[in-house]
Structures are given as C-alpha cells and as structure tokens.
Amino acid sequence: MESINLIATMEDVGQRLDVYLTTQLPDYSRSFFQNLIKQDHIFVGGRPAKANHRIKAADDILITIPPAREVHITPENIDLDIVYQDKDIVVINKPQGMVVHPAVGNYTGTLVNALLYHCTELSGINGEIRPGIVHRIDKDTSGLLVVAKNDFAHRSLAQQIKEKSASRVYQAIVENNFKEDSGTVKANIGRHPVERKKMAVVNSGRIAVTHYKVLERFGIYNLLELSLETGRTHQIRVHMSYIGHPILGDPLYGSHNQKFTLKGQALHAVKLVLDHPRTGERMTFFAPLPDYFEKLIEILRIRSKNN
C-alpha cells in the first residue's frame, strides 16, 4: 500500500478534490481517484473524503493507493546517450519516442528498462516502476533529464526542482509567425474538461508560466527557445497551442493537417542546469538538436528563402 500526502495551497482553493488530485498526480485518472474515494482510501483532515469536496487552503490530504498487480520490470540492453554519470546522478539525452517509465501499454522499451541494465543502483523513492526518476519528458519530446542513483541525490534534486534552482531550456519549432521577438505566457493549466488524456488552459487549473524567445524565423514557422517557471504536465505544448502557435508535429495539441512527416512534436530539452547533490557544484549540460530536428530546420530555411 503506497501512501501519498499532499498539502493544498492557495492556488488550489476551490477545486473539486478529484480534479485537484489529477493535476497533482497526472499519472492517474480522475475515475481512478473517484474509485479510491468510494473505497475510503482518501482522507482530508483525517476524515474520509468526498469527490465533490472543495479544496481549502492547507487541506491535509492523505491518499493510500492499493498495490497494483505485480509487474516485473526487466533490464533491457537499450542504447542510451549518457551525457554525464557519477555515483550520484546520471544525465540522459532521451530520444524522441522513448517512454520514461513503464505504465499500462508500455512495460518494455522504456528509459527505466534501459537504466536498470546500464546502472547498478537507482534511487527507490518512486518505487519499482519509476526507480531514479525525478522528473519526466513526454514520450515524443527529446532531450535532457537527470536520474538519481540514490535516495540522497533524489531528495536533493526534487527539492531543487521544487525551488526552481534546477532548470531546463527547450527549443521548439512552432507554427505561425510571432509578431514579437519574446514574451511570456501566464495561464492556468489543468485537466481538459472533456478529453481526459489532454491538459488545457482552464481557470480551475494550476498557475503555469512559460517564457519564449524567437531564435529564427522561417516564414510561417519560428524556432523558439523556451524556459519554464513552473512544471505542469505538457506545459509548453499547451501554452503554445493556446496562444495560436502549436508545436510542429504535435499529435495532441497541434494542427490536424500536418505538412511534415514527423513522429512527434519538434520539442527538445537542449540545456539542463542543476547543483550537484553531493558537492553543490553548479553544473550545466547541453544536448544538441537531434538529426530530424536539424534537417527540419534546413528544409524550413530553404523554403523560406525561396518564397
């Protein structure tokens, strides 16, 4: 039985409990939490909760998740682009198309399967399914992420992410030319009210802030640099779509009429900055754009010059 304790903040006030839980723990669905509530596995202030409970500031929420069916995660000899590694952390340049950790429908071929083969030790804080995983990147987003090899490193990295002292910088190709050279999107993100696999800009969501800068223009397409003040699920993809500049190739938030044969969104984490958990050294890592991304830029440059 896994126990998770959450303390609501002022940002969360007024949300239904089941909606709040899906924003806090996006690996689980709203119906999953509703079932837990019916089974008295969720308590607010020490009392069994109701799905329509409206969150109050400082609500103390305890979730107990019954054991899932036993799943054996097999180490797999999958090539990894390891940017850096020591006894505490490993920094990976994740390829597009790789799922970070096992879940329903993806119990093999994940980053975790590969890590279990390449690393003898990983932190156990996130359990058997997600050993070492401190933060994630979407399946079809590529780029840098850091993995913790022990619980000491995991706690340090998680705290850095929470305090925003650790950060990532992304590059993306988006549709529709920006009038300005830079800007900020500040719009709440939560679960889509109808399409439950999607996130959306909704008033009841959690605050989300994305900064962007135009690096290069290719007619109706722009190459952007993006950085986040918050780390909401699908944040960059949702915010760019919301302001009318969906990421090229995005199958969930992008245009239905895709003009390029892409296997996912053109979004790559190019830079990762963190303090080493043990030494405190400020460390910066870079990951070059993948080949498909570079080729796409060249195609767009040629097209924009010919138009």
By annotation, the residues acting in catalysis are 138
Q: Which residues lie across from 132 on neighbouring strands? A: none
Number of Cβ within 10 Å of residue 77's Cβ equals 8
Helices (H), the chain: 17-24, 30-38, 111-118, 151-163, 235-242, 291-306
- State the Cα–Cα distance between residues 248 and 240, nearest whole angstrom: 10
End-to-end CA distance of the chain, in Å? 61
Q: What is the C-alpha separation between 163 and 103, in angstroms, rounded?
A: 28
CA angle at 206 for the pair 152 and 55, rounded to the nearest 5°? 95
Quote helix, strand, coil % in the chain, to nearest 5.
20, 30, 50
Strand partners, 178: none
